[in-house]
Structure 1
């Protein structure tokens, strides 16, 4: 005797070897023996071989009409044998009965399982819904296949094109559009990104990178909500100085300006004036929320996304010819440029000029400051020379002066668009530590250090940047910044461009006005703002570095540089000459660091921002600059942070934040 039984969600047959009241020992056609429960047995049969029974039953089951069976089954629970008797009109054969069980079991949409061999017909509404879902799935499967074939042929179906932003940057893997792309990519043995690029979904790689960044950090767009401007600050005293700023020609967020006044005692009073957008901004106001959400201006070659709305920037930027609200630090300086003391106050300052690098640097540079009296006159010449001498003294007091130091180059990017819409890049080198850079950088370091000290001494909460053992970090506790050589360092000089500076200015203004600070010590909101800023600022810097790398590669192609030169930094890592570009060269033989090499450009992959080159020739090694040696130390992470700290000196003088280390 044989049995037809249910096990593990399927049907099996076996010959009975032994039997008890609760279980049976059966042997399959393969010879495998199993112990099964008596309750699992659905029917017994003989006269049909084990190898033939299930195939015959399946053939019969395939011919059973599910809709007809559903109509015959009624609304009550039933056993498969009951329906088999009704369907066949007589005692069904074992094959027919097994076929009924197999058919019912295979159609959970029609029949709900209620136990071994027992079922209940699905309610009519449920069945209709299930059928509709099945039909939809079949249509979707056909659509996925159709789109997949089009993608494999290099075509971009319109529905895929309409969803390409989502597919490229934030794919929903449950959509049929993504499933079509994934299927085609698998068949083409490409990544989905490469497949979409091959089909023309990325006509502009610059726009693709920007779109990906905006999708991640500005999903609602770069526009600002409707914001009511804070009322013009009232009751401010007018400063008895005329100040001037020094910025790149593209700068619109002018945070800082300077003034110089000769005192009756023969000393000088140097004023550092910082824009004060915090005046009138109430806690929890819409403008403050914008600052805490944006956290920083985003920079990229040829573009930027400001932290504050244009109207707010316009209201508080230190624009030429205007009386502007400012937080000022006045430093008394001896004729020997020795700092004698300082004080701070909130006031209104007249801005006499916005000096621009490109207009002033031809006159105020490394050569002209050596013989200042022999050169031509230029705007604010005497003030600039005095501030430069003061900057040198401040650098000495920080312990960072080195007359033999050879400064590395920084680079600025300019992107122009011609009449045809074609974008062109100009990459212009600029040596760190120029008189103009040093002047601004040293005074900003002084201001940020002294205001950080004031906040710490008065017990007012603030956010500091600290560096120890090569690692730069944000903290709410004052701590030394070894890279800059100061006891504490609190960003407060760029409140139009960075949220940390905005927050620290809020605290400073409250302290100077003898009001309750916005943030108390150990305020969880201050910790949250610091954490959010640190993460976001680093992400913005990474994006800036990514776009600069893209434009470096574009420049190589634009200028048809087929044989670039570079210097070996470490192993197969080289720094290209005349560009802020570092890349690994596959197959480069082991060469000493400092070895100049001439390479052949083989190819550029803009999607991966990869440059393929091969070695043509190598020269004699030369000594790297000290900071280049440092960045190749064993602890690369710590060294990268130290590099970023050093970069702050140069970046303080520009409209560009420090490069991502």
Structure 2
């Protein structure tokens, strides 16, 4: 004796081995035994064999006209076995009963299940709607498959082109286009980016890189709407110090400037002057929301996306010849010993005499020229005393650190001589050592300001945003903690308020502390334990990392374009570790397949075999190991 039963939506036919009141054991042809409920059995039979029943039943079910079945079926609920006798006109055989059950079960639009072996025909209006939906789905599947076939064949369907700009960032995963695109990616055994590029959805890899970044972080565009900036700072005292700024040629947000006044002997008053947009951008204002939305200026070769609107930058940037508000830190120092006798923070107005540029002065301002008091040195009366004090500051930090800083790495500026979105734009790599005197000089005074102002906030119990490093771990917090790598007891970013949001936040806190002193913790924009400060830290870290990652990606891209524009087939570099090599001619690190085990710093020559501008990788192989 055999039974046909249903198991998890599948029909099975097997031999009865044993049976009780509610369950039975069945045995398959392979000898495997299973326990099933009697209630799951559709019917029992003596012949044919279970395998033949399933084979004959399925074959016969394929010949049954489901429309005719629906017309013949009772309009109320019915049992399939009873309907089989009426349909076939005689007591049905086991394969005939199975065939009818299979046919009914395979047509859910026509017949609704009402329990084991029982069905009810769908009402005409419901059947018509279901059939229309099935036909629509069939046509959609055909259309979807047509798109897949086109993409696999290298043709971009118009419907896919219309949504190409969303497929990598915010795809509608319920749409036909996405499903077709996903299937084409799988069939092509490639990545979504490579498939879109090969289909011509993007003209080149650069456009794809830029679109993916901008659509994710700047979906409404990078331009600000017009803003009004009130000029209400004429009441601030005007200080006639002789101040200069020092920046790259492309810098338009001049955050800082330095001044120095010499007194008797080796005594001097050194001023560190920081732009004060915190006067116009106040907490929770419209301008604050704009700045907090970006957290930092984005710097990529040929393009800058500012944190603040141009009108605000224009009103507060320390541009030469314009009187601008500044948050100034003055220190009284002994240039002979490096001793800082006192410090004072003031909110005032200053007029920067000149915005100096690295590229115009780096060659002339050398360590030797600075040390030669009688030698010819541009702006020597300003540079030399500042340099003397900067060397004391550096030595004091080195003593805390226990070793001198290693700043010999060469950095590069990327100069695009054409549009930033055209891969054929000529690019120049302009090298500059980080330990150039002007770099070191400015860095020392910015470190000093961040240290002193961080200490000022801590002294008065006013929270700020600090960057610390302890036991090798760098993190941001609201408490003053040492920064071991820099060698200072605390470090609060506060010298780039036009470009970094945390500096702007710290400026609000410093302004309140400078004005109110011991009561500042009660009136500062952020009070102790303000949870919003922690939210700012988290958001800044995430956004700043995203900006840095994109900047690095674009610098890699333009390095690769530079190599191609110079038709570089062979390059030299030095091993960093394992298979990583840093090129000598460009700021680029690449992996070299099958690189033998070499010591760190080992010079090598590489052959460039190809460029992957999408993955931003060079295909290189070792040509030779350079020996002395």
Q: What is the TM-score with the length of structure 2 in the denominator?
A: 0.90
Alpha carbons of 1:412 and 1:340: their partners in 2 closer, same or farther (altered >3 Å)? same
Alpha carbons of 1:77 and 1:228: their partners in 2 closer, same or farther (altered >3 Å)? farther
Q: Report the CA distance between 1:423 and its aligned residue.
A: 0.9
Instruction: Out of 278-287 and 260-269, give the one that drifted further.
Output: 260-269
Q: Report the CA distance between 1:15 and its aligned residue.
A: 5.1
Separation in 2, partners of 1:537, 1:174:
33
Structure-to-structure mapping, 1:223-302, within 5 angstroms: 223-224=223-224, 227-229=227-229, 232-233=232-233, 235-263=235-263, 267-302=267-302
Contact between 2:591 and 2:620, CA under 8 Å: does it hold in 1?
A: no
Contact between 2:243 and 2:258, CA under 8 Å: does it hold in 1?
A: yes
Alpha carbons of 1:537 and 1:93: their partners in 2 closer, same or farther (altered >3 Å)? same
Per-residue CA deviations over 1:236-288 (Å, capped at 9, x if unaligned) read 22223243211111111111112223457973222111111111333311111
Structure 2: where are the runs of 5+ without partners?
A: none
Of residues 578, 585, 594, the one that matches 1:571 is 578
Contact between 2:308 and 2:498, CA under 8 Å: does it hold in 1?
A: yes
Establish whether residue 139 from structure 1 lines up as the match of residue 139 from structure 2: yes
Q: Report the CA distance between 1:482 and its aligned residue.
A: 1.2
Tell me which residue corresponds to 2:390: 391
Separation in 2, partners of 1:533, 1:404:
27
Separation in 1, partners of 2:551, 2:17:
77
| SS of equivalent to 2:138 | helix
Instruction: Out of 363-372 and 524-533, give the one that drifted further.
Output: 363-372
Alpha carbons of 1:367 and 1:188: their partners in 2 closer, same or farther (altered >3 Å)? same
Contact between 1:233 and 1:280, CA under 8 Å: does it hold in 2?
A: no
| SS of equivalent to 2:165 | helix
Alpha carbons of 1:20 and 1:561: their partners in 2 closer, same or farther (altered >3 Å)? closer
| SS of equivalent to 2:563 | helix
Tell me which residue corresponds to 1:542: 549
Tell me which residue corresponds to 1:114: 114
Alpha carbons of 1:480 and 1:64: their partners in 2 closer, same or farther (altered >3 Å)? same
Per-residue CA deviations over 1:157-181 (Å, capped at 9, x if unaligned) read 2222222222234444443323333
Tell me which residue corresponds to 2:621: 614
Tell me which residue corresponds to 1:633: none
Tell me which residue corresponds to 2:468: 466
Tell me which residue corresponds to 1:332: 332
Structure-to-structure mapping, 1:350-389, within 5 angstroms: 350-371=351-372, 373-375=374-376, 378=378, 380-389=379-388
Instruction: Out of 308-317 and 610-619, give the one that drifted further.
Output: 610-619
Q: Report the CA distance between 1:82 and its aligned residue.
A: 4.7
Alpha carbons of 1:116 and 1:617: their partners in 2 closer, same or farther (altered >3 Å)? same
| SS of equivalent to 1:219 | coil
Separation in 2, partners of 1:230, 1:137:
61
Alpha carbons of 1:415 and 1:54: their partners in 2 closer, same or farther (altered >3 Å)? same
Establish whether residue 590 from structure 1 lines up as the match of residue 589 from structure 2: no
Contact between 2:423 and 2:561, CA under 8 Å: does it hold in 1?
A: no
| SS of equivalent to 2:135 | helix
Tell me which residue corresponds to 2:416: 415
Per-residue CA deviations over 1:308-361 (Å, capped at 9, x if unaligned) read 111221121112221111111112233535432110011122222222222333
Separation in 2, partners of 1:561, 1:3:
77
Q: Report the CA distance between 1:497 and its aligned residue.
A: 0.5
Q: Report the CA distance between 1:578 and its aligned residue.
A: 2.9
Tell me which residue corresponds to 2:530: 523
Contact between 1:297 and 1:305, CA under 8 Å: does it hold in 2?
A: yes
Instruction: Out of 177-186 and 223-232, give the one that drifted further.
Output: 223-232
Tell me which residue corresponds to 2:39: 39
Q: Report the CA distance between 1:26 and its aligned residue.
A: 5.1
Alpha carbons of 1:137 and 1:331: their partners in 2 closer, same or farther (altered >3 Å)? same
Structure-to-structure mapping, 1:206-221, within 5 angstroms: 206-221=206-221
Alpha carbons of 1:91 and 1:356: their partners in 2 closer, same or farther (altered >3 Å)? same
Contact between 1:429 and 1:578, CA under 8 Å: does it hold in 2?
A: no
Structure-to-structure mapping, 1:495-514, within 5 angstroms: 495-514=497-516
Instruction: Out of 538-547 and 492-501, give the one that drifted further.
Output: 538-547
Structure-to-structure mapping, 1:91-170, within 5 angstroms: 92=92, 94-122=94-122, 126-170=126-170
Alpha carbons of 1:30 and 1:586: their partners in 2 closer, same or farther (altered >3 Å)? closer
Contact between 2:407 and 2:435, CA under 8 Å: does it hold in 1?
A: no
Separation in 2, partners of 1:178, 1:570:
42
Separation in 2, partners of 1:63, 1:406:
83
What is the aligned residue count? 619
Per-residue CA deviations over 1:137-187 (Å, capped at 9, x if unaligned) read 322322232222222222222222222222234444443323333333333
Q: Report the CA distance between 1:364 and its aligned residue.
A: 2.7
Alpha carbons of 1:128 and 1:250: their partners in 2 closer, same or farther (altered >3 Å)? farther
Q: Report the CA distance between 1:224 and its aligned residue.
A: 3.0
Q: What is the TM-score with the length of structure 1 in the denominator?
A: 0.86
Separation in 1, partners of 2:234, 2:125:
71
Alpha carbons of 1:403 and 1:104: their partners in 2 closer, same or farther (altered >3 Å)? closer
Instruction: Out of 359-368 and 589-598, give the one that drifted further.
Output: 359-368
Contact between 2:497 and 2:504, CA under 8 Å: does it hold in 1?
A: yes
